[in-house]
Structure 1
């Protein structure tokens, strides 16, 4: 499989970024829900958020890499059977997913740095607190972060259901390409 995309398939870089980020977003959502159940005396009360922050920063770096890769790489052609509204909806959904992830990560950054301390990323490096001390920064950013997380996970679910619909009902090449196969030759 080529590293770069072709007109009929995604390359391994795009596929790796897509599926790694999909798993990370689902995992981060589950971790975020779980963290809200922790009490102050729970041993994971401090470790859970630390892991969440570190993965969040790494996910931000992956998002920037994904956007950069997408900007210098061709995108496989849409399946010819797609209707115009399906094409437009699919493209708008992708842009919305990117925008939601970016906004969610910025809100997470604002929560994590509200007290002026940098974010430690697993002892590898620190991300400085460049904007902090705003009135109610942690609370407001926290509410925005939670709302965006729910919207992102719901939109990602719709995205996944649409891919399954195209595969099992329409029987087109939409999902085939995201599984690393060539749309012109979908057999493994």
Structure 2
């Protein structure tokens, strides 16, 4: 029994869920910083640093997405080579939602690259390291990149909310665990460790 538990704890599914939550945190940071920095006046001293941080988090999100897709393929391989899925309306709906989420998780940072590269060459940095341009500098594409990045970001947010609603039981269970964790830490502090 201990061997089965240990293998489950180190499973690809557990790794997939870990990357899922790291990406969720990164996406919250990206959406919050993107919303905040778009409201900043051009003369604000930390505006450029904020943009660089946002772009770095976008690159990190793309790296996490790549890792997540590789883990997902591994999980699917193990799961569906043993037993093929039951095709149902619920399964198809869930599959469509998840495919949409993955497309938006990919398209939002790519549109951010389009916006940044169109605006100025060598404009995307990963925590100080300049990344090569994916798109050529082209002022005519800048507006397209801005519109795509804006609308794709809000579409990703909408689909993320749909996903959260669909997974409300999991969200409630995780919220309950988080509250219990905080309560136990608070009790330890109150009791003087």
TM-score normalised by the shorter chain: which range applies? 0.7 to 0.9
Bigger RCO (CA 8 Å, 6+ sep): 1
Match of 1:42 among 19, 44, 57: 44
- SS at the partner of 2:167? helix
Query: Cα offset for 1:44?
Result: 2.5
Aligned equivalents of 1:43 and 1:76: distance in 2? 52
Query: Cα offset for 1:36?
Result: 1.1
Match of 2:160 among 150, 156, 161: 156
Question: Which stretches of structure 1, 4 residues or more, deviate above 4 A after TM superposition?
Answer: none
Aligned equivalents of 1:26 and 1:86: distance in 2? 28
- Following superposition of structure 1 onto structure 2, how do residues 109-188 of structure 1 map, counting pairs within 5 Å? 109-114=113-118, 115-123=120-128, 125-164=129-168, 167=169, 175=170
Residue 2 of structure 1 is matched in structure 2 by 9
Structure 2 alignment gaps of length 5 or more: 1-7, 81-85, 175-193
Deviates more, 1:41-50 or 1:99-108: 41-50
- SS at the partner of 2:125? strand
Residue 107 (1) aligns with residue 114 (2)? no
Larger fraction in helix? 2
Query: Cα offset for 1:133?
Result: 2.5
Query: Cα offset for 1:135?
Result: 4.7
Query: Cα offset for 1:130?
Result: 3.4
Query: Cα offset for 1:76?
Result: 6.3
Aligned equivalents of 1:47 and 1:18: distance in 2? 27
Query: Cα offset for 1:85?
Result: 1.8
Structure 1 alignment gaps of length 5 or more: 168-174, 180-188
**Radius of gyration: which is bigger?**
2
Query: What root-mean-square deviation, in Å, do the aligned CA atoms of Structure 1 and Structure 2 show?
Result: 2.3
